[in-house]
Structure 1
C-alpha cells in the first residue's frame, strides 16, 4: 500500500511534470509562430496556478481524539517512534503547521496562544505577507535527525501559565466546567 506521504510526493512530481510539459508546448507554439498574446496569457495563468498551488492537510478535532497519533502514523512512521508528542489531555491548543515546501527549509510554525485575544481569525494569521504572519514562531526541522526532530517538536507542547481570568478570555477555562478544577494549580494559575 502506498503511504500518504509518498502520494504527496507523487503529486508534487506530477505538478512539476505538467509545468515542464507546458514549457515544451510553449516552445512548440513559438517555433511554429502560433504563440500570441492570448496564448501567452493562458500559459502564464496556468503556470501561476501550478506554481502557487499548495496541498494543505488539516487535522481538526476536539482534544484527546488522536490527531497527533494519526499525524505520527502518516508522516513519521519511518522513524520507528513517535516524533510528534502525544499524550492524554490537551497536547496542542494552538494552530501548528508542519511545513514542507521545496523552496523553503522544513519547519514547524506555531501560532502563540495570545493571538486568540486579537480580533483576527486563524486564516488572517496565515496570509503571506500579512501583519498577522509575523506572529508565528518558526522552528527549523532536520528530517535526517530523529533526535533533532524530537527536540523541535517539543515546542509544540510548551505551556504558558496564566490567571484563570486570562485563561477564560483565551477560551480555555470556565469555572463552571467540570474539568476546570484540575487545571488550576496550587498558585491559582491555569
Structure 2
C-alpha cells in the first residue's frame, strides 16, 4: 500500500542540493512512498532541537495536515532527539534519509547474508534512538539511585542491552556465513585444480590419434 509524504530539505549552499532532493523523491518512490509536497530552506546552521526553525516546523505541519500525509521525510540524517521533538510537534511519523535507505535495503535483501547485514545496520541505527519509559524512572529492583546502581537497570538500559546482544549475535552469524563461503570457494578451486589434469588426459589422447 502506497503511503504519502512531505519531503523536507535544508541547504547550506550545497552545489548538488536540487539533485539530492530529486534523489530523495526517487528513494521514497522506490519504497512505495508518494511525495505530495516539498519544503526546502536555506540556512546557515541547523536547529539542535528540531533541525529546522520554529517557523519552518509550523509550515511543515500546515502542509502535512492539509495534504493529510502519512509521514515527513528529511533529506539529511537527524539525531534521535530531533526525530522525537519533530514527531511531537508535527504529530506524525518523521523519517530521515538514512532510515529510508535502510528500509529499501531491507525490502530488497534476498540472500541470508544480505538480510543479516541490513539487520545489523538497522539495529545500529536504532540503538541511539531507543527511548522509553526507563529514562528517569527508578530502577526495577531497588530505588537507591547511585548507591544501589548495580541492583537493577532501567527499561531503557535493558532495551539498549538487548539490541547490543542482537547485534553481537547477528555479527556472529555473519562471520559464520562468510567463513563458510570462503571454505566453499577454496573447495571449488581445489576441485578445479584436480579436474584440470584429468580433463587434459583425454585431450592429449585425442591429439595423438
Pairwise TM-score range, normalised by the shorter structure? under 0.3
More strand by share: 2
TM-score normalised by length of structure 2:
0.25
More helix by share: 2
- Higher relative CO (CA 8 A, sep ≥ 6), structure 1 or 2? 2
